[in-house]
Copies of this chain bind each other. A is one copy, B any other.
Amino acid sequence: MGFSYTIEATAGMARAGVFHTPHGDLPTPVFAPVGTQATVKAVLPRDLKEIGATLVLANTYHLHLRPGSSLIYELGGLHHFMQWDGPILTDSGGFQVFSLAQLRHIDDDGVQFKSHIDGSAQYLTPERSMQIQHELGADIIMAFDECATPNDRTVAVAAMERTHRWLERCVDYHYTSGDPNKQALFGIVQGGIFPDLREQSVAAVTQHNLPGFAIGGLAVGETKAEMLATLDITLPLMPNDRPRYLMGVGHPEDIVESVKRGIDIFDCVLPTREARHGAALTRYGRLNMGNLRFASDSQPLDTTCTCYTCQHFSRAYIRHVIKAKELIAHTLLSIHNLHFLVNLARQLRQAILDGEDTFNAFATQFLEDYRQKITI
């Protein structure tokens, strides 16, 4: 048992690796579909498998409030509950709690907040987040951190320092009360868009000998250029022999740019959210499938795509079920969009294995195609 990370090839800063987990090997780079409430919205687990998904994310905040982590524990844990037998990652609940703006009070011990479901008073601390994640039983669990708005230095310093103090408590709790052979605790680097803070944070977080590390506090309001500059500063400081997870990132071009800089793991609600908005992701941009021009289009969403949706259904059919408000529209578009990002990560991995020239050519061509947005 236990966790280890093997790097199979590199291309510049980009890495193709395998993260070994109790629920199977996780080839990286990898894109993780988000199953907030113990289901990836509108998609059955067997369809996720067929898509090629390997890692699924679930949200501690949501599952803690409903149905409750102790219930999931009694029912055999999250893998059994949601019928996903591959690796699962749970976030710490921190990000959602901090998003509650008017509903929470933070101090150094933890965060008081009101449930968005029934208004009940709730309290999360580093220890409680660990305990909940132990009950859920995901393979990868995340430290309880404070994710602040990225470009206010005073706020960023305070959030970073609290994140470091809370990480100590997470590590203490996990390594005394948890099972580090069954669950890998990842630490989270904060520091906003400030290079010196990121440097400090990497030093503080990686002094713990953890099986993986995440970069938090990005894709939360900063510009693309600021995000990439922060990755440029931060990633070379991080240990090479541990997987690196960029939390909440999933725009196709961001995935490519981040893999180039050395990120291994991604998650994002983008593909399923776009599906619910009637949009299809393609290499040439985003298609609004409700558009009249698709009404009699007999082509698939993407003629090069191998997903179930594209192998069977026309754009005209997809548009019809969107207009008719049929639930199958969400399912068909989610399958396609998830396949697009899961497959993008897989293609990036293969390109890295094929060598630096292949990887650079693939990344350059993809970004060029995607930025054309000729089909939007």
Contact = CB atoms under 8 A, between A and B. Distances in A.
A331 B331 CA distance: 10
Contacts of A305: none
Given A327-B327, A327-B331, A331-B327, A316 B41 contact: no
Contacts of A43: 328
A293 interface: no
Interface in A42-60: 42-47
A328 B75 contact: no
A128 interface: no
A75 B324 contact: no
A324 B320 CA distance: 27
A323 interface: yes
A330 interface: yes
Given A81-B314, A83-B313, A67 B295 contact: yes
A41 B75 contact: no
Interface residues of A, number: 40
21 contacts: A37-B320, A37-B324, A38-B317, A39-B324, A39-B328, A42-B328, A43-B328, A44-B47, A44-B328, A44-B332, A66-B320, A66-B323, A67-B295, A67-B319, A71-B316, A75-B317, A81-B316, A81-B317, A83-B317, A327-B327, A327-B330
Given A75-B298, A296-B74, A327-B327, A320 B41 contact: no
B81 A37 contact: no
A42 B298 contact: no
Contacts of A46: 308
Interface in A24-38: 37-38
A13 interface: no
Contacts of A316: 67, 71, 75, 81
A371 interface: no
Given A38-B317, A41-B326, A327-B41, A296 B83 contact: no
A296 B75 contact: yes
B37 A321 contact: yes
A247 interface: no
A330 B331 CA distance: 12
Interface string A126-151: 00000000000000000000000000
B44 A314 contact: no
Contacts of A204: none
